[in-house]
Structure 1
């Protein structure tokens, strides 16, 4: 008889403590049980709904686990899970929101408690440049399942240059023997300089507008060609049939002088009729005629022979009669 009285008294005391939100075990009209009195009554508010539970757990974390309440990354609990559980305690669960964040085309998913898009970016350590774009706006409210996109926008002034090759102008000189020539003026290449304003979005060109163009005209190279009577000394090229003519800078060399060997790059002896060339301009093995020198073959190379240059070989017993300078040569094949 004493047990029943004690149970009824305890139930009445709890009912007066809980008030109108008392657990259903006390408000349904059924007789309270000793197991109800041994368990601790507590409530959880999750997503706006208040639900009462009974547990023998002593901490908030254990009570949540026994109630089957799963917490994801970013979810917040108050009081915290390590707090002691007391009768009538209401535990608040604030669920984090799932958000997909896209920055410069890179996607990642995260969970956040931040209220606005701007606060979310701050939480993730993402700063915005003056032209960067954010969608939704930074003051937009973060919602579950939202996609937040940050596009990096940059502006740049780009300068492009185009070289305009210098033309070659020829001037005939009757006082200079035919077959001889020299460069009177080197001239210079021209330049076209274009200025563009370029808009980049996530590192890719989104817009390109030319804002200015500057032009520096080329200056012609002037080559003086001999138009006078040819000098006949066994090296004339008059009357020959040729495929093309080139104006080159011509020097001479001899074996045994300044470290020059006695054999060419192609294995021939260094002697009259051998010419060192740049193979990128004149292929080895090419036959040619050099006014004032005669018929020759491109059979040698040299470290100092680059571009439109040739080096005329003489045997060691000959005193060269060549004067270094520009000359128009004739390619035979």
Structure 2
């Protein structure tokens, strides 16, 4: 015997089945939940402004932080970028995110080089950012907008000055003096020489540690040099008369006349002889040894009324010799016995 089981449907009063009614309510509930979630999702969306290197656009996001917003928008950041506000800041509706690309700048301070990154670069901004202080005499060379595509740079040339004291020896000189008592050609040290000493203050100027100039400020003699004195045997200027040696003390050009015996003694009380010379005692003292060009050696032993100033009168034994001499302009040498 075969039994057949048949599912019995439950019917409502209006003829619909209970199962169909249940499915309808489930679907309606799902639509309501979706609608509510959509409303909530839309209500929680945040509208923000993105400024990327000066280009602005508006975006809607549900991201919580700046970092997640930029990541969702496909914006990749590197060390050459700066973000405002910071990447971990919370995003708020109506907020603004600014992304700027920093420009690399080579800062050369003296002999030190450093690469930094700044926004639109200016010399002042870089100096302040790096805490660079300039001193008097420092120079700045900069090219922040090179046209050849090379890296912008700021070069600071440091100038430094210092004063040093240099000590230098002053060589002594050797002075030779004639010594008529020494054998010709022989030498004798009269005084040993010693070097002097001087100090010179010098201002040295440096640029980036390299010397570029020196300037003498002051020189002071600390010790004067002492000359070395050497006596040299030399008799080339020695005059010899009757076994006596003389040296020239002074040379003059004078008018020389002649006279002979008058029967009167000289001003010194002796009778005149060959070698007696009349002088002006105010010019040549009596007793002075003389050498008269053309006449020879003599001694100032007489005076004369007409013998004044640069004039002499030489004695001859005869009138004829005196007349032959006449009046001449000759050289007269005053001698000193050695």
**TM-score in terms of structure 1 length:** 0.44
Which has the greater radius of gyration?
Answer: 2
